[in-house]
Structure 1
Amino acid sequence: MSDGQMSKTENKKILVANQNMGLDESLYPAVLNAIAHPLLIISETGQIKYVNSATENFFEMGAPILLRQNIANLVLFGSPLLALIKQVNQKQIAVNEYEIQFEIPRLHVTKIVDIQARLLESHSDVEGRHMSIMFIERGMANMIESQILSRNATKSISNMAEILAHEIKNPLSGIRGAAQLLGATANSDDKSLTTLICDETDRICNLIDQMEQFSDGRLPEYESINIHLLIDHVKKLASNGFGKHVKFVEHYDPSLPQISGNKDQLIQVLLNLIKNACEALEDVPNARIKITTAYKAGLKLKVPNRDKLLSLPFELSIEDNGDGIDSAFVPHIYDAFVTNKKGGKGLGLALVAKIIADHSAVIDYVGDKSGAKFRILFPLLNTSIKAEG
């Protein structure tokens, strides 16, 4: 059986119910390969009988190799998938499980998936019982959902920043001025208190200045950007300062076209992510940050004021070999004022999320205990909101 093809017997086994619909059997393989989610068929003993193209990508293994495997060989002993298969066989019912941590030991990765398993209708030409298994990856759906929540959060911060700037910042200037006047005539003990007042008013003013970055509702001015030049610029800054202890590894795709973006804002994004990674690697031996660019077709996003879906094929990832982000913080890393860094204000990633949203892009954290990894998916220059109006 060649890659992505099935015999007539396999066709009947998988889609026998469609015979009454008048669908030509020659279309069955094309129909199954058109399914975006990984779909495979196994025998009663777990032997893999068919995989579609999405399954090859999911396991990063070609169909000829997969078709020689038993499903048990692809998962860990005690995998929830094996228990699910057993349940379907014993009770002869369809089973759906949601948000399963599915480990692929060969790839050393864990994916969050929904799994749908059901027995196929038996057919006289087919010996034994067969089961279809479909995996629906949750990572992408959760990523899009988190971006929407982050955008809503930044809108709230924008409104709050405008109020703070007007109602608090001006009175703070008066308080600081009064403290300076008092400090000029105060004794040494009282002078320390007036200095404390000045320091605290400065700190609050700086915090409001940072928050005001969220309140500018204007879209940035876009231009054609070679993201690799911006990465090299930020790497140079890091290597001569906060990232002297880190080795940078680049895996660039030089054939990638340019993107549409605001240079200063994208530098701010890269600087924030790379600085965070460098700080996380301060006590890590052989500290390393890998920066990758690649073309990844497939993801499309519905954006406001646009009828067509926007394709996001330009992938930029920044990955370190630290301890990763505590899983308790991951759902909230783009929320303002949420941080697990000592002395951190929790505004860096919230600002990153806003800038990425303004560029009609998405950012996702896909790290684990072996390191933090942020992935950004951009539209290309000729498919951007700016280019298409």
Structure 2
Amino acid sequence: MSAGLLRNSFKGAASAAPFFPTLLDQLPNAIVVFEAENQQLIYVNAAAESALDLSRKSLEGQSVHDLFGSNESLNHMIQEIKAGHFSAQRQEMVLHSLPGSIHQDAIPAHVVVASLEDPALIMMEWFPIDQQLRSERDERVSQQVEANKQLMRNLAHEIKNPLGGIRGAAQLLEYELPEKGLREYTQVIIKESDRLQDLVDRLLAPHRKPHAMESFNVHEVLERVRSLVLAEFPKGLKIIRSYDTSLPEILGDREQLIQAVLNIAHNAAQALSSEIREGIAQIELKTRVARSVTISKQRYKMAMDLHVIDNGPGVAEDIRERIFFPLVSGREGGSGLGLTLAQTFVQQHQGFIACESSPGRTDFHIQIPYRRQEKS
């Protein structure tokens, strides 16, 4: 939106706030409008609500400095606009969100402060600098995943046919062997063939006919996952619920989502073996709502944010960029398929999955957009 159009949108006094155009709520960047004199917020768009993880009602009435603390760079920009030295200023800076907000990390952001036609009002817009980088990364990941899926499908089909022949030949050979002791070797061939057949089936399973979609409560999924993990790890592990119970039901495949989250949580529990022995292991299941999100270049009004966070040693640095690739595992004896399947299931819901990991904290982030049920 041009600066002129923005100014016209906010023409009038602060009392006109209830009539601000809803068009600003559709913009992807966070925008707030505040009074120049006391810097008190009178308007917050949906993207700003999402960025600060606070409702519009609780934000309006706060001052800009209540939100971002004593930020000298931001204060200087506001004073320059207020004095009429510039109509708009842009700068990259680090923003800190309101104390008590969930998002309390320092956020490197591109900030724009601009005057409006009414000199009593000032507009501030910001967006994380890494937003564009993430969009480019998501596109690369999507292309890589599609290439991997095609490769694994082709490879699985190429393996499947000769594998059946090997197993059949081993069975026939077993019948012809004169000594029973020699059958031990044919059993090795048969059992290993069966193991490989199971691996091939698991590689092909996500690409077969999709299941019927239904609306369901994501917290029912998380409670199922929680009970399954605690049944296997009953001592030394604490699973914390941090649910936003206001989340609406999501449209998807319940069993696929259970399997996706279970694969992640189960991996986390296995990585927490030392912490479990010490009795300090912790996994957090967290849900939030995200507004005005872009996933694979598609814009959605609202999405479900789901986090699986553990306090384990973190993902090994040498595989951190490849953990969703098939057959890549950070655990000895692991199949390397759990996270690949989780990614496939999430992408089949038009969502994305990402991981941020460092020693002491690993966060698997799933975001799935809310979509309407298609009419049959």
- In structure 1, the residue matched to 2:353 is 363
- In structure 2, the residue matched to 1:209 is 201
Residue 28 of structure 2 contacts residue 293 of structure 2 at CA under 8 Å; is this kept in 1? no
Q: 1:172 and 1:300 mapped to 2: Cα distance?
A: 43
Structure 1 pair 213/113, CA: closer, same or farther in 2 (3 Å)? farther
- In structure 2, the residue matched to 1:281 is 272
Q: 1:311 and 1:19 mapped to 2: Cα distance?
A: 21
* SS in structure 2 of the partner of residue 159 of structure 1: helix
Paired amino acid for 1:286 = I
Residue 227 of structure 1 contacts residue 259 of structure 1 at CA under 8 Å; is this kept in 2? yes
Structure 1 pair 178/274, CA: closer, same or farther in 2 (3 Å)? same
Q: Does 1:376 align with 2:366?
A: yes
- In structure 2, the residue matched to 1:341 is 331
Residues 180-329 of structure 1: pairs in structure 2 closer than 5 A = 180=171, 181=173, 184-185=177-178, 194=186, 196-216=188-208, 218-242=209-233, 244-284=235-275, 285-301=279-295, 309-326=299-316, 329=319
The CA deviation at 1:273 is: 1.5
Paired amino acid for 1:321 = N
- In structure 1, the residue matched to 2:127 is 136
- In structure 1, the residue matched to 2:158 is 167
Structure 1 pair 241/211, CA: closer, same or farther in 2 (3 Å)? same
* SS in structure 1 of the partner of residue 286 of structure 2: strand
Residue 354 of structure 2 contacts residue 364 of structure 2 at CA under 8 Å; is this kept in 1? yes
Residue 265 of structure 2 contacts residue 308 of structure 2 at CA under 8 Å; is this kept in 1? yes
Structure 1 pair 150/244, CA: closer, same or farther in 2 (3 Å)? farther
Structure 1 pair 266/40, CA: closer, same or farther in 2 (3 Å)? closer
Q: 1:210 and 1:115 mapped to 2: Cα distance?
A: 44
C-alpha offsets along residues 320-352 of structure 1, whole Å, 9 cap, x if unaligned?
A: 222333455443332223332222232222211
- In structure 1, the residue matched to 2:85 is none
Structure 1 pair 255/194, CA: closer, same or farther in 2 (3 Å)? same
- Select the structure that is richer in strand: 2
Aligned residues, how many?
350
The CA deviation at 1:64 is: 7.3
The CA deviation at 1:364 is: 3.0
Paired amino acid for 2:344 = K
Q: 1:20 and 1:298 mapped to 2: Cα distance?
A: 22
Residues 61-210 of structure 1: pairs in structure 2 closer than 5 A = 67=64, 73=70, 110=105, 113-115=108-110, 135-138=126-129, 141-180=132-171, 181=173, 184-185=177-178, 194=186, 196-210=188-202
Structure 2 unaligned residues grouped into runs of 5+: 78-88
TM-score by length of structure 2 reads 0.67
- In structure 1, the residue matched to 2:374 is 387
Q: 1:63 and 1:20 mapped to 2: Cα distance?
A: 20
Residue 159 of structure 1 contacts residue 215 of structure 1 at CA under 8 Å; is this kept in 2? no
Q: 2:318 and 2:160 mapped to 1: Cα distance?
A: 34
Residue 143 of structure 1 contacts residue 364 of structure 1 at CA under 8 Å; is this kept in 2? no
Paired amino acid for 1:387 = E
Residue 319 of structure 1 contacts residue 372 of structure 1 at CA under 8 Å; is this kept in 2? yes
Residue 300 of structure 1 contacts residue 312 of structure 1 at CA under 8 Å; is this kept in 2? no
Structure 1 pair 140/200, CA: closer, same or farther in 2 (3 Å)? farther
C-alpha offsets along residues 56-94 of structure 1, whole Å, 9 cap, x if unaligned?
A: 87578968776558989569xxxxx89xx9xxxxxxxx9
Structure 1 pair 69/295, CA: closer, same or farther in 2 (3 Å)? closer
C-alpha offsets along residues 120-167 of structure 1, whole Å, 9 cap, x if unaligned?
A: 9xxxx9xxxxxx996532555555555544443443344334433433
Residue 151 of structure 1 contacts residue 354 of structure 1 at CA under 8 Å; is this kept in 2? no
TM-score by length of structure 1 reads 0.65
Structure 1 pair 17/249, CA: closer, same or farther in 2 (3 Å)? closer
Paired amino acid for 2:340 = A
C-alpha offsets along residues 264-316 of structure 1, whole Å, 9 cap, x if unaligned?
A: 21111121121112112221142122212233322244678xxxx43333222
Q: 1:197 and 1:387 mapped to 2: Cα distance?
A: 48
Paired amino acid for 2:243 = Y
The CA deviation at 1:227 is: 1.9
Residue 67 of structure 2 contacts residue 98 of structure 2 at CA under 8 Å; is this kept in 1? no
Q: CA RMSD in A?
A: 5.2
Q: 2:320 and 2:242 mapped to 1: Cα distance?
A: 26
Q: 2:198 and 2:241 mapped to 1: Cα distance?
A: 35
* SS in structure 1 of the partner of residue 262 of structure 2: helix
Q: 1:195 and 1:103 mapped to 2: Cα distance?
A: 63
